Amino acid sequence: MCVSKCLRCVGVSLVPMAIICMLSNILLLLPELKVHFLLEGHVTREATWATGLWGSGFLILLGAQKFIRISNTRGCCAFRSQVIQMFCQMLCQVLYSCLGMLAAGSCFLVSATGLSQGPLCLYNSSSGPTWGVPLQPLPDQHSGYLYNRTLWSGVCLEPRSVVQWNVALFSVMGATSLLQTVLCGANILNSLLGMILGQGLRHNKVSPVSV
C-alpha cells in the first residue's frame, strides 16, 4: 500500500473534522446564539479556551493542508530515488502529525472537562441569583449532572437550555477531536514506515519465461 495514498486520505478526512470542531466551539461561545453572554463573561470557561478553534481547528487544518500537498507531489511514489529529500518529507509529516495529535488531544481533554464540570449559568443560590457552575460534581453532594437528567432543566435559569447546549456541543467536539488524535497518531506510524521502507511498496511481479 502506498504511503502517500494514506497520507492524502488522512489529510482529506481531517478537513471536515476541523470545521466541525471550529463551529462547535463558536456555538459554545454563543449560548442562545446571543453574543452578550460572551461579552459579559458568562460563558463556560472551557469554551473560552477555544481549543476547538486553534487546536482541533486551525492547527489541524494546517497539518491537513501539508499532508494533501505532500501526497500530491509527483504521484504515489514521489522522491523514491531521492533518499534525502524523501527522508525530509517524511520527517515533516511526523512533526506535523505530532503537532496535530497534541492539538487535538488538548481539545479532547478540554471538551471532556467542560462536559463533566457542567456549564456556567445563572442559578438560585442561598444568597439569591448567582452566576456559577452549580452542576459540577461535588463529593458531599451529587456525583454530577450527567447521571441525573432531572438537574438539566431545574437548576440553570440563564442561558435557557444551556445544559443541553453544552452537552451536545462538547460531546461533538470531544468525539471529533478524539478521532483526529487517532488519525494523527496513525499517520505518525504511517510516516515512520515511509521513512524506513520508502514511499511506495510494490508487489514483485513474476514474468513468464519465454522458451
Provide the residue-wise pLDDT of the chain in tens; the chain has 211 residues: 456 677 788 889 999 999 999 999 999 999 999 999 999 999 999 999 999 999 999 999 999 998 888 777 654 444 444 566 667 777 888 898 999 999 999 999 999 999 999 999 999 988 889 999 998 887 666 567 888 888 888 889 999 999 999 999 999 999 999 999 999 998 888 878 777 765 444 444 444 444 4
**CA 59, CA 25: separation in Å to the nearest integer?**
14
pLDDT for res 1: 45
Residue 145 lies in a domain: no
Place of cell 520527517: 91
Residue 133 lies in a domain: no
Residue 117 lies in a domain: yes
pTM of the model: 0.83
Residue 99 lies in a domain: yes
Please list, in sequence order, all residues whose beta carbon lies within 8 angstroms of the beta carbon of residue 132, skipping any fewer than 6 positions away. 120, 121, 123, 125
Q: For residue 206, what is its C-alpha cell?
A: 513474476
Please tell me the total count of domains within the chain: 1
Q: 124 vs 9, 40, 90, 137, 156, CA distance in Å?
A: 50, 19, 57, 17, 8
Single-letter code of the amino acid located at 15: V
Residue 192 lies in a domain: no
- How far apart, in Å, do the first and last CA atoms of the chain sit? 34
pLDDT for res 176: 97
Q: Are 129 and 157 in contact (CB under 8 A)?
A: yes
The closest alpha carbon to 27, from 90, 101, 106, 119, belongs to: 119
pLDDT for res 7: 79
pLDDT for res 140: 63
Residue 89 lies in a domain: yes
Range of the domain at 50: 1-124
Reported residue count of the chain is: 211
pLDDT for res 2: 58
Residue 101 lies in a domain: yes
Residue 132 lies in a domain: no
**CA 29, CA 114: separation in Å to the nearest integer?**
13
